[in-house]
Amino acid sequence: MNILILADGDWSGAGHALFEAVNDHTEHTARQVAHQRSYLGYDCDVFAPSRSELRDLIEWADVVNVHDSNDWLIPQDVPSRPTVATYHGSQYRARWPYYNALDAQRNRVSTALNLDLAMLGPKWLPRPMPDMKDARNGYRRNGAFRVAHAPTNRQIKDTETVIGALDALDGVELVLIEGVSNDECIEIKAGCDLLVEEFKLGYGTNALENWAMGIPVVAHAFPGILAFMQMSLGKLPFVDTPLERLRDTVTHLRDSKSAYNAAQRKGRAYWKNYHEPSVVASKFIEICKESIQ
């Protein structure tokens, strides 16, 4: 099966990660197209093809995986292909009834990159995350307890509140990571003991990278999302704490090696069960086959 992964801009690197997972872990072949460069510096298989090049790729494909419903990227003069639609975030959240109806009308299989979006109808298609465990050697207590926080948007990630809670906490060094490439961000996080993620939707790619490195994640989400995650997963992969208890939670993880190691094992097991590339590739192939039926 030939699969074309098509996005306007592969902002989170999910398209390229899926491209690599399919080619590395299945007998099927994937190509990936992005029309704009991600400012975080993710790789791209085919960047900004001409209309004729894109037409050839679509004709080559048995299945097209369209990210964030960018139908306008598909030339109108090519035969339709079985399609898997993958939604990432705010665009879908704002208009989910419209996209659900559109996918049903066009016989497209709807998938969601983020688990909270699966609450609204699509199948959950986790983002593949390669193993990075060699970047981390476990709990360290030689020096300050280094806590990473990497906001792409300070307002969304409540960064000012995080700073207020942790900046002057004894024995803790808050490491703010902003304005760097994804590779640089991973390198900095690999030298930290903990990641403080977000407090509305649970987690994103940032947390996955830490779990793949064996670094625990502190996060929270709206009550409905937390309940859906608990129902879907059986337990939460992050150390669940609301913002008002962040200082106490970080202090506990700093001081308790057993609590830290338990959080570390939980996050690592979650990555292995749901986001390891071979697991995601297998699930994605089944979804692609479903779109052909």
Q: What is the pLDDT of residue 8?
A: 86
Question: Hey, how many other C-beta atoms are within 10 angstroms of the C-beta on 183?
Answer: 11
Q: What is the pLDDT of residue 10?
A: 86
pLDDT in tens, 126-158: 999 999 876 544 555 567 899 999 998 898 899
The CATH number fitting domain 2-128+276-292, selected from 3.20.20.70, 3.40.50.970, 3.30.413.10, 3.40.50.2000: 3.40.50.2000
CA distance 114 to 116: 6
Identity at 228, one-letter amino acid code: F
CB 63 within 8 A of CB 83: yes
The helix-helix angle for 246-255 and 159-166 (nearest 10°) equals 50
Cα-based distances in Å from 110 to 1, 12, 26, 80, 120? 19, 19, 22, 16, 10
- The edge-to-edge listing of strands for the beta sheet with 172-176 is 172-176, 145-149, 194-196, 217-219, 239-240
Quote the radius of gyration of the chain (alpha carbons, Å): 20
- The edge-to-edge listing of strands for the beta sheet with 29-36 is 46-47, 29-36, 2-9, 63-67, 83-87, 109-112, 123-124
Is pLDDT of 199 > 90? yes
**Facing residues of 4 across strands?**
31, 64
Token pair listed for 85: 């639609």
- Residues 97-104: what's their mean pLDDT? 93
Query: To which CATH superfamily is domain 133-275 assigned?
Result: Glycogen Phosphorylase B; (3.40.50.2000)
Confidence of residue 182 (pLDDT cuts 50, 70, 90): confident
pTM of the model: 0.91
Q: What is the pLDDT of residue 135?
A: 53
Q: What is the pLDDT of residue 87?
A: 95
Of 178-187, 192-201, 231-240, the one with minimum mean pLDDT is 178-187
Q: What is the mean pLDDT of the chain?
A: 91
Domain with CATH 3.40.50.2000 in the chain: 2-128+276-292, 133-275
3-state percent breakdown (helix, strand, coil) of the chain, nearest 5? 45, 20, 35
- Residues 6-16: what's their mean pLDDT? 89
